[in-house]
Chains A and B, each alone.
Chain A
Amino acid sequence: METILSQLLNGLDKGSAYALIALGLTLIFGTLGVVNFAHGAIFMIGAFCAVTLSRIFSISFETIDPTKTDFLGNPAVIKTPYVEAWFGPEMGHWLIDWSVPLAILFSIPIMIAVGYIMERGLIKHFYKRPHADQILVTFGLAIVLQEVIKYFYGANPISTPAPEAFKGSYDFGALLGFEANRIVYPYWRLVYFMFAAVVISAVFSFLRFTTFGMVVRAGMADRETVGLLGINIDRRFTFMFGLAAAVAGTAGVMYAPVLSPNYHMGMDFLVLSFVVVVVGGMGSLPGAVAAGFLLGVLESFASMNEVKSIIPGIDQIIIYVVAIVILLTRPRGLMGKKGVMED
């Protein structure tokens, strides 16, 4: 019982990441009808936004402290970050500590700009082209973005710690009446899960309860008619692209402490999130979210030692096995609609 619960919790944060990326993918796919292979790269850019902000905050100037010496006997050099000098030591330290959550605010305008430029500059010209061409051109774009990141940040993973306040784990077991320290869950992953829940519900309510969202949904159903009603649907779709980029980007920002950002994480997540989208059903937002959580949880169950001893290596391939089985039994995925991508 305890193992099952703790595995369920472990699956949630990975599932959240899958769900967030898949949500953006499906959003772009459902509104613009574009298969975007560069979406993983957007997630990666988000993660590197967190790295960038924490580096900006840690820019320091050096002062020589004559009272102390280093191990060679020279006067010691003390590095003081500028933020501490400007805002006072406490505030400065707090800023450095909280750089990852603050990077969300920092990344949203960047992500929206990235999404806007991508849509206006490149993807706009591919609406009428076959899906194969869209896949190929965005794949090329993903390679380019990956290389740019590699140039600026190097090829090694950069560890980006979460704020001090979220270090350590929460003892879930005690809450539910089990023994202490049986079911523990890192605070940051809890935060990540809550963040994902908030973002997903925000996107859904935005589409469900606002006029703007209504128009977008109408455009998903029948683009031409909405255009005939005198609404500039293209502009709204561009906005949706920016929104999807922002969702993926903030997901990347928050994921930085879980997995140290490296230049090929985008590609790794892309394959998985595509599998998630296809399992959920092309063009179905709830399907993408459900499939994301489902696959995340399944993956963490498969990595239990009890399961591994029965079927060795199942943790590596469970996602693909599930995807293949689901696609063959339910060709449109879990919640796919008829007539999407079936030409």
Chain B
Amino acid sequence: MLGLNKTDSKFLLIVIALTMLTPFLMQPFAEGSGLAQFNGGYPDLMQKVAIFGIFAVGFNILFGLTGYLSFGHAAFLGIGSYSAVWMFKLLTMNVIPGILLAMVVSGLFALAIGYVSLRRSGIYFSILTLAFAQMCYKMAYSVLTPITNGETGLQLSLDDPRILDGAAQSGSLPVTNLFGLAMNSTYKLEALGRVFTFSVGYYFCAVIAIIAFYMAIRIFRSPFGMMLRAVKSNQNRMKFTGLDPKPYTLAAFVISGMYAGLAGGLLAAMDPLAGADRMLWTASGEVVIMTILGGAGTLMGPVLGAGVIKYLENIFSKINESVLHSWFHWLPDGIEEVVVWVFARFTGEGWHLTLGVTFMLVVTFLPGGLVEGLKRVSDRLKRGNKKRDKYDDPDPEHHPDPSKHVV
């Protein structure tokens, strides 16, 4: 199907089913029940999961395949957001041109930044991309204020030209739309004591995410993807076979930059404002964390990582002490205080702590991320606790260590 082999087609179909059914899947608990706060099925969060999934999948094309660890990818996210908002301001509120422009502009930036950064590898590459991203951030914050509106961030205003949309409706800002279908319109379905929200914005993001994911599968399975893996495993060998790693790596960098720009454009399409904070290096760190947590170099990993992190960010930060008390009220008083205190450190305001600790544990014990963890569990279930035969491992000489990074 669509040029994929059987397993990949199945995989893609499963992903499509999951994304289409997300409003149901993320709403497992009845309204008003004690667990209702774990419901993540509201449009804002679902859109974020889809968008950051795209971002992480793109980042994975660079890091997972070539092993070049970029610490500056958030710059492309920011650039994409700015371009999309400018498109909304100048041309039309339709999201398609905005997103296309976001991809083109961030692709151009990625070409320039990648051309310079890829002259070095390893830690130098990481620092160079970091420096470029910080540079973009500082410039967006200060010098380029006419374009980026500095600290306030770029917003729509009533007197924007919007050439295609004609005269502005009086009084209120127009909303982003897809050929007249407003992005923020939702349809609520009440069934089984639950409320399912279907939002146009989410489904738009989901379709784009599926297309992006499909592209990623094709890249992974293509000869080009093979070249990128060759860059990661051994550049010298690659050169000896007469292949220049540089153009391949640069192409991967530009593709992942365009993915990031697409994600930025979508963010702006969901909520038409763009601020410089999106380009901070901690935001770049976030996408690195997502990719690693899910499993770098795997197809499903980054999406999984983005989903888990965004879900935790939204759900964990809502759990406060009173909620915790209602959970643990059955414990004896003294113990309850202690338990609630401990949990309160990791929830609500302290969810970053959870993120940091989880991330450290994953990097230390599960270098392959959640995907590897799931695989180990399923292997364990299949094989039982049978002692592994030494011949189970492939010949290390002809299968280089898969976890080796270039960095």
Most chain A CB atoms below 10 A, which of B141, B350, B353: B353
B359 touches A136 (CB 8 A): yes
- Say whether B173 faces chain A, with CB atoms less than 8 Å apart: no
Find out whether the CB atom of A125 lies under 8 angstroms from the CB atom of B128.
no
Q: Does B143 contact A (CB under 8 A)?
A: yes
A125 to B367, CA, bound (A): 13
Q: Are B364 and A317 in contact (CB under 8 A)?
A: no
Within A135-188, the residues touching B (CB, 8 Å) are 135-137, 139-144, 146-148, 151
> Does B124 reach chain A (CB closer than 8 Å)?
yes
B119→A271 contact, CB < 8 A:
no
A320 with B131: in contact, given A137-B364, A147-B356 (CB under 8 Å)? yes
Does B126 sit within 8 A of A, measured CB to CB? yes
Asked whether B134 lies within 8 Å of A271 as measured between CB atoms, the reply is yes
Chain B residues whose CB sits within 8 angstroms of the CB of A137 once the complex forms: 360, 363-364
A324 CB-CB contact with B under 8 Å: yes
Interface size on A, residues (CB 8 A): 41
List residues of chain A with CB within 8 A of the CB of B123. Answer: 35, 131, 135, 278, 282, 341
Contact with B along A101-141 (1 / 0, CB 8 A): 00000000000000000000010010001111101110111
Minimum C-beta distance from B238 to chain A (A): 15
In whole Å, how far is B31's beta carbon from the nearest beta carbon of chain A? Answer: 33
State in angstroms the CA–CA spacing of A341 and B123 once bound together.
7
Report the bound CA distance from A249 to B360 in whole Å: 23
Q: B135 touches which one: A130, A132, A142, A317 (CB < 8 A)?
A: A317
Q: Is the CB of B288 within 8 A of A143?
A: no
Q: How far is the CA of A35 from the CA of B407 in the complex (A)?
A: 11
Query: CA of A274 to CA of B71 in the docked complex: distance in angstroms?
Result: 12
B355 with A135: CB separation less than 8 A:
no
Contact with B along A267-279 (1 / 0, CB 8 A): 1000100110010
Interfacial chain A residues near B124, Cβ < 8 Å: 278, 282, 327, 331, 341
B69, A135: Cβ atoms under 8 Å? yes
A342 CB within 8 Å of chain B? yes
Distance of A282 Cα from B124 Cα, bound (Å): 9
Asked whether B364 lies within 8 Å of A132 as measured between CB atoms, the reply is no
* B138 near A136: Cβ-Cβ < 8 Å: no
- Residue pair B288, A136 in contact (C-beta under 8 Å): yes
Q: Which residues of B contact A147 (CB under 8 A)?
A: 350, 352-353, 356
- Does A328 sit within 8 A of B, measured CB to CB? yes
Check A143 against B405 for contact (C-beta < 8 Å). no
* Chain B positions 106 through 125: 1 when the CB is less than 8 Å from some CB of chain A, otherwise 0: 00000000001001111110
For B144, list chain A residues within 8 Å (CB): 313
Given A140-B360, A151-B345, A331-B67 contact (CB < 8 Å): no
Q: Which residues of B contact A130 (CB under 8 A)?
A: 403-405, 407
Contacts of B292 in A (CB 8 A): 136
**CB pair B120 A331 closer than 8 Å:** yes
Contact string, B130-156, partner A, CB cutoff 8 A, digits 1/0?
Answer: 111011001101111000000000000
Structural contact, A316 and B143, CB atoms closer than 8 A: yes
* A140:B350 contact, CB within 8 angstroms: no
- CB contact between B353 and one of A139, A148, A328 (< 8 Å): that residue: A148
CA distance A128 to B69 in the complex (A): 18
> Which residues in A have some Cβ–Cβ distance to B below 8 Å?
35, 122, 125, 129-133, 135-137, 139-144, 146-148, 151, 267, 271, 274-275, 278, 282, 312-313, 316-317, 320-321, 323-324, 327-328, 331, 341-343
Q: B residues within 8 Å of A by Cβ?
A: 67, 69, 116, 119-124, 126-128, 130-132, 134-135, 138-139, 141-144, 281-282, 285, 288-289, 292, 345, 349-350, 352-353, 355-357, 359-360, 363-364, 367, 403-407
Report 15 cross-chain contacts, Cβ distance below 8 Å, ordered by A residue: A130-B404, A131-B407, A133-B363, A137-B363, A143-B355, A143-B356, A144-B356, A278-B124, A313-B138, A313-B143, A317-B143, A320-B138, A324-B131, A328-B116, A331-B124
Closest 5 CB pairs of A and B: A313-B143, A143-B356, A132-B407, A144-B356, A140-B360
- 5 further A-B contacts with Cβ under 8 Å, apart from A130-B404, A313-B144, A316-B138, are A141-B356, A151-B345, A320-B132, A320-B134, A324-B135
